[in-house]
Structures are given as structure tokens and as C-alpha cells.
Structure 1
Amino acid sequence: MNLDFSVLNGYIPYVMKGTAITLLFTLVSALFGFIWGTILSLFKISNIGPLRWFATVYTSIFRGTPLLLQLLLIYYAIPQLFQYDISPLMAAGLAFGLNSAAYLSETIRAGIQSVDRGQHEAAMSLGIPYKTMMISIILPQAVKNILPALVNECISLLKESSLVSVIGVEDLMRRANVVGADTFKYFEPLVFVAVIYYVLVLILSTVARVLERRLRRSD
């Protein structure tokens, strides 16, 4: 089969450095997506029409166009339109965060609406401000209800992060391609990177299951 994994000798540290970049990118994108997605979800349940309209249109656009297209538009359009030389990693984080927020906004909205309506009414009757009620009472319970969906979104971000290699981000996939170009053997580095992705997903899934069990015990 002409397979020779010894071609990776000397390249393993170089490829492994891409793991840190991939994890950092995933963490930043997930955090940004969660915060912006939460804001969008609040817009969707707001009594203010323009906010609901904005959140609905935003979600429709980002869910209705390919993520790769959004990534390329942000990376190439910002320098052209605003004369700002955005870095590949920043463009990738922005694109993935904005895209993730569109999906998470629906998930978080469903989580908020799954919380017993009586808790809203009780908080309002006690004179608790809306902002305090959402942050301290409603959102923690909503996050607990949608934790599996949030973990699935993080896993999707981790796997889809391989797309950032097309704009030059030195992530795992980009480094695998560099090794392939140097050695003229692509299968071995790609398999090595696939194993790293798989292990990262397993670790994330395990941590999520442990957290979910602890949350269930706290009920």
C-alpha cells in the first residue's frame, strides 16, 4: 500500500502546535457565539418589533449561506471596504462566532422558553429587574436544559475549524497540508491529524457527560 508513517518523524511537534491554535480558535468562537447568540435570543423574545425583526433576518442570512462563503467574505471584504488588514485568525474567529450565534440563538431561545413561566411571574411580582432575572434566574436554568445542544455546537465548531486553513491559519489541517507538501505524502499526515481531531472530540464529549451528570445530581 506504500504507506510510510516514518515521514512524520521531525514533523510531529510542528503538527501538534496546531492543536493549541485549533483549541484556542474553537474556545474563542464558541464563547463569542454563545454571548452573541444569547443576545439574539433575547431579541427574539422581546416585545420590541425591530429587535425581533433584526434577529430573525440575521439568523436567516447566516443559516442560509455556507460557512466557507461567510469566512471568505469577512476575510477579503473587510480590507477592501474598511481598509483594515484583518488577520486570518481574527477573520476566522469572527466568521465562526457570527455563524455559531445564529444557530445558538434558536437553541437558547428554546431553552429560555422551556423554563417554567411561573418563575418569570414570581420574579416580576417580587420586583426583580428584568436583567437580573434573566442573568441570575432564567439563563442558568436554560443553559442547564440545553447543555447537550451546546456541547454539540462546540464539537461542530471544533471539526469545522479545519475550514480556516483555506485562509492561511496555521491550524491542524494547514500544518498537515504543509507536511504533505514537504514530503509528497499526504495520507499519513492527514491520518495523524484525523486521530488528533477524534481524540479532542472524545475528550470534549467525556467532559460534557461528566458535567451533565453533576448537573442532574444537583436537581
Structure 2
Amino acid sequence: MNFNFLPKYFSYFNDGMLVTLIISAFVVLIGTCLGIIVALGKLSSFPPLRWLAKAYIEIFRGTPMLVQIMLGFALAGNLNFPTFHIGILQQDLGRLVPGIIVLALNSGAYMAEIVRAGIEAVPIGQQEAAYSLGIRPRKTMVNVILPQAIRNILPAVGNEFVTIIKDSSLLYTIGVMEVFSGAQTVVSLTYQTISPLLVVALYYFVVTFVVSRLLARLEKRLRKGYAK
């Protein structure tokens, strides 16, 4: 086991990690927005909307992500999307876009439950106080309840971001060129297996560790600001 391939093939890991972070950022952003909408649907007093939200959550939480990715790619068909390069890695939008959408739908199901729990954790007195001031229910939710709920769920959102960074490696199965795909390319070029996989594991660990620490500091700062 040696790492003499690194100087020549570093770009596969660096550019791949950049792609992984871009994918993860899009997935968490879309998943969070979707999670808020679905959570509000699940808390709705309108039964069909509530049932639809529950069905969506149960389907995406109750089936393997890998199956969802493969099914989503199959349903997308042969999309005639352009290709482009991020560094040394060629990206096919016909594979990247379905992959991001499926990951976001999966993330949205988990985020919906996180947001719902965050909303329900806000003291009922906040809602009653807003109503007593004549604030309409919709504005109460948007201006009073959701800001407090989002602050409460920040740690869980951070955990979801870290999870997506790792789970995005599953997009390798549909040909998305991210960091794990880059490592597999290095394996095929160097005929080494363990060393490239150890390197990609180190990349995942360093990035998730740094992201976790940054989110912990952000959470701490927000809590201090709220306490003041």
C-alpha cells in the first residue's frame, strides 16, 4: 500500500470533493424548503393536504435511498442535457439533475419531520400572544413561529448536511462524477484499491468534521444572540 499516485491524481479528489459540496448544498437548500412546506402540510387542518404530506414522508423515509436514486434516474430517461467540466471531472446534467432532485426529495422527507418537531417545540403562548395582538394565523406562522422553529432545528439541519455529504456518494451508481467517483477512477487507473479509498475516506472525514465544527459555532453564536 503506497500513496505515490497522489501528486498525479490529486485533482480527482479535490475536484470531486468540490462537486460533492455543490451537490450537498443544493440538496440541503431544496430539501429544507421542501421540508418546511411538507411540515406545514402535515400540521394543516385540511385532511387531504395532511394525508398527502404523511404519504410523502412515509414513502421516502420507508424506502432505501439507493432504490430511489435508481428509480428516479430510470424515470428521467435519457435526458438530452449538456455536459460540462468542474476541474478535471466531466459532469452530465442528465445524471446530475435527477440525482440532486432525488436526494432533495429524500432529504425533504426527513427535514419535514425535523421542522414539524421544531414548530411544535415553540411554546403555544407565542401563538396565543400573536393572536391576541390581532396577527393573522398565516403571518403568525411566518413571522413568529417559523423563525423560532428554524433556530431550534439548526443542529438537526447541520446533521442533515453532514449526512448528505456522505450519502451523495450513492450518486456514483448513476454515473455522477463526485469525489467517490473520482476515487474509483483513480483505482482503475492505478490498479490500487485500498490507498485511493483511504484517501477519499480522509477527505470525507475532514470535510464533515470542519462543517460540523462551523455549524456548532454558528449555533452557539445564534443562541448567544437570542439570549441577549
**Do both share a fold (TM > 0.5)?**
yes
Distance 1:13 1:51, change over 3 A: same
C-alpha displacement at 1:84, in angstroms?
Answer: 6.9
1:83-111 CA distance string (max 9 Å, x none): 77661111111011000111111111010
Residue of structure 2 in register with 1:191 after alignment: 198
Q: Is the 8 A contact 1:8 1:188 kept in 2?
A: no
How many angstroms does 1:213 deviate by? 1.1
> SS of 2:131's equivalent?
helix
Q: Secondary structure at the residue paired with 1:6? A: coil
Once the two structures are superposed, what CA deviation does each residue of 1:94-138 show, in whole Å capped at 9, x if it has no partner? 011000111111111010011011111222222323333222221
The CA distance in 1 between the partners of 2:139 and 2:176, in whole Å, is 40
Match of 1:157 in 2: 164
* Structure 1: unaligned runs, 5 residues or longer: none
Partner of 1:105: 112
1:37-48 aligned at under 5 Å gives the runs: 37-48=35-46
Q: Is residue 12–residue 183 contact of structure 2 (8 Å, CA) maintained in 1?
A: no
Q: Following the alignment from structure 2 to structure 1, what is the Cα–Cα distance between the partners of residues 76 and 184? A: 27
Contact conserved, 1:30 with 1:154, CA < 8 A, in 2?
yes
- Measure, in 1, the Cα distance between the counterparts of 2:25 and 2:213: 17
- The DSSP-based 3-state class of the residue aligned with 1:119 is helix
Alignment-mate amino acid for residue 177 of structure 1: Q
TM-superposed deviation, 1:20: 1.0
Does the residue aligned with 1:87 lie in a helix, a strand or coil?
A: helix
1:201 to 208, 218, 221: 208
* 8 Å contact from structure 2 (residues 35, 110) kept in 1: yes
Tell me which residue corresponds to 2:87.
Answer: none
Q: Is the Cα–Cα contact under 8 Å of residues 38 and 105 in structure 1 kept in the other structure?
A: yes
The residue number in structure 2 matching 1:34 is 32
Greater mean deviation of Cα atoms: 18-27 or 116-125:
116-125
Q: Aligned ranges for residues 66-105 of structure 1 at < 5 Å?
A: 66-79=64-77, 87-105=94-112
Name the structure 2 match of 1:133.
140
RMSD of the TM alignment (CA)?
A: 1.5
Asked if structure 2 preserves the Cα contact closer than 8 Å seen for 1:112 and 1:138, the reply is yes
Task: Name which of 168, 177, 186 aligns with 1:179.
Answer: 186
Q: Give the count of matched residue pairs.
A: 215
Structure 1 segments, 4+ long, off by >4 Å, are: 83-86
